[in-house]
Structures are given as structure tokens and as C-alpha cells.
Amino acid sequence: MKIIKNLFDSFAILLVLVLTSKAGAQDPYIPTFTELAPGVWSGVREDNPRFPVMGTATFVISDKGVVVYDGGGSATMAERIIAKIRSLTDLPVTHVVISHWHGDHNFGIFRYLEEYANVQVVAHTFTQAVFEGTRIDYIDAYPEQIPNFKPQIEKGLEEGTLLGGDPMPDVMRGVYERILEDADMIHADNQRAKVTHATLTFDEKLTIRSGARRIELLYLGDGNTAGDIVMWLPEEKIVATGDIVVHPVPYAFNMPPKKWGATLRRIQGLGYETLVPGHGDLQRDQSYVDLLIETADSVVVQRDALVAQNIEEADAIAQIDFSDFESRYIGDSDYLAVYFDAWFKKPMAAAAFKELKNIPMVTPNREE
């Protein structure tokens, strides 16, 4: 039951964010492809908060094959990445790299193993430990996710209320209706979600040589998880970060701010010219990561000052102030304000104090 409750909580947050975003014109599994350099492509699912969130894919074509990083958070998303690859080359996919254990980046990559022979699945050892543990068991609730929540959405439309019971503004009705339009497709895709175990793991660095391409996989420190790995293309000066970097505002659940800031500085030290976030817009300079570092540093300084005053932890968490940064992330967007509060401010403040206890943010086995 705890698994279901955690799933409910996550789904409720997702719906809040979706309800404050504009509805797209297409289904939720369509990536927008961009060629970043000759033979290097990204596939970004637009409208980042839209349910279900889907991680960005990056793939590199050489004269020997294709290396894919975060190949699809759903089977349908993976199939569309595969279709794009096949439109560009007849060469096989040789490696699929998993940036971290969250399912929106990897629950569809089993499709590569079905379509291509001898694919190597690469991940950090921590990611594989999660796949072998109970933390990943939330996937067991996927088949009933939509049937459990669709009646609540229908009830909200009928009664004119949001999930929490507040009156539904007129502008939200169309978004609720869009969720229902997408529900059958999401439900069908959820039935196919699978955990794909790594066949190759590493701790610090792994270099893949694919023809003339040199692809470096690097663990640069904790970020969104304790096993986040980035893909670095030194000749092209392109880095794909997984959810260490997310745009327009970051994901901060279980994100230790001091360690995160150090990891971000190592990413800056690569000297990239293009950065592919785990979700959201491509970054063509270092200014956004500079903002992330500045924010992380501020949280650490505030936390340490509050601890020095012997303030109770719950009160100290509430006093972490993001007002110097909020407008720099969200501008005057009402929907991003909800996103910033739910997915960054609250979890970042809580993680800051958890970090002080020097215990893992997340363990491979779920705490009961």
C-alpha cells in the first residue's frame, strides 16, 4: 500500500503541473529532433510538465553503429527514437546508456533489445543496484495507474473541481479534457513498461569508441540521484546530463545541494558548447548552469546559517528563501510558479537538511 500511496502522491503533483500548462496539439510521446552536430541528434519531448513526463534522448551515429543515451521513458517514445535512427542510417544500435534509474528515462529501452542484436545496456553501478532492489518496484503499479485516477479526473470535470477540491477555473477545463483524451494511449503504453538491467556497469568513467567517435560516459558526482552519468563528446563539445540539469526549472527531489553544486561545476569544467538537459530546452551556453550553481550555493549558505542558530529543522526548512532566484527561472509564468514550488523549492529545502545527516538520499531498497 505504501507503494500505491507514493505513486498517488507523485501522480497528484504531476497533475497539478499539467493543469497549469498549455495543452499540446499532439500525443504525449512525440519528440522534436535536432541535429546538434553531424551525426549527433537529440529528441526532446516538448511541454516538459505534460503528463507523463518523458526524458530527452540523445544519439550518436558513427561509421560502426549508433550509441543512444536515454533512449525512451516509454515503449512508444523508444519506438519513435528508433524510427528516427532508421530514417538516418541502416547501422545498428550498439549501446544504450541509462543516465539514471528513474523510469521516465528507461522504461521503454527494452524495445532496442527487441529490434537490434547484441545491444549493450550501460549504467552506473548504483543504477543497476536500484534495478536489482525494491526501489524500482513502483513500476508494478503502472498497469493500474490510469484506471485508478481517471475517475477522479472525470469527477472533477463533472463537479467543476480540481483534485484537491478547489473550484476549477474555466481555463483548466480543456486541460482536464486533454488528460482524458490521452488516458487510453498512456494506459496502453503503461502496460508495456519494463525495467531493463544493465549488461555493462562502471563507477567513474567508461569510454566507448564507435568508429572514429569517442564517447565518454562520466560519473561527476551526485545530482538527481547517486548514480547520474553524463555523456560527453569531447570533439563536438556536447554534453548530455540526464536530470542533473533540467530546464526551465530543475528537479530537486533528493538532490543534495552541496554535492549537486560540485557536480555542476565539474560539468562546467568540461567546456561544453551545447548541453542537452534531461528535460527541456537545449542550452547553447553556460548561463543556465551558472544559475543552478548560484542557487545551490545559496541554499547551502542559508542552511548552514540556520543550523548555526539552532533552529528546529522543520522551521529551518520553511525559512530557506528562493525569492532572489524564482523570477530568474519562471519569469511571470503562473504555471512555472507551481512547478518551481512543487518540484524545486520544497524538495530542495528538505534535501538540504537531509544532506547534513550524511545518509544516502535514496537507497536501492525501499525503506519501509
334-359 pLDDT, tens digit per residue, is 777 877 988 999 999 999 999 999 88
What pLDDT score was predicted for residue 206?
98
| Range 105-124 average pLDDT | 98
| Range 163-171 average pLDDT | 73
210-224 pLDDT, tens digit per residue, is 999 999 999 999 999
- Confidence tier at 171 by pLDDT (50, 70, 90): low
Each domain of the chain, given as residue ranges in start order, spans 1-218, 290-356
| Range 280-303 average pLDDT | 98
Percent residues over pLDDT 90 in the chain? 79
pTM of the entire predicted model: 0.90
Answer whether residue 149 shows pLDDT above 90.
no
**Cα separation, 136 vs 101, whole angstroms:** 8
| Range 61-67 average pLDDT | 97
What pLDDT score was predicted for residue 170?
67
What pLDDT score was predicted for residue 24?
41
Cβ-contact 15, 156 below 8 angstroms = no
Answer whether residue 17 shows pLDDT above 50.
no
| Range 192-205 average pLDDT | 98
User: Looking at the domain that runs over 1-218, which CATH code has it been given?
Assistant: 3.60.15
What pLDDT score was predicted for residue 169?
65
pLDDT higher at 365 or 149: 365
End-to-end CA distance of the chain: 11
Percent residues over pLDDT 70 in the chain? 91
| Range 158-165 average pLDDT | 83
| Range 286-305 average pLDDT | 98
- Confidence tier at 13 by pLDDT (50, 70, 90): very low
251-284 pLDDT, tens digit per residue, is 999 999 999 999 999 999 999 999 999 999 999 9
88-103 pLDDT, tens digit per residue, is 999 999 999 999 999 9
Answer whether residue 368 shows pLDDT above 60.
no
Average pLDDT, rounded, for the chain = 90
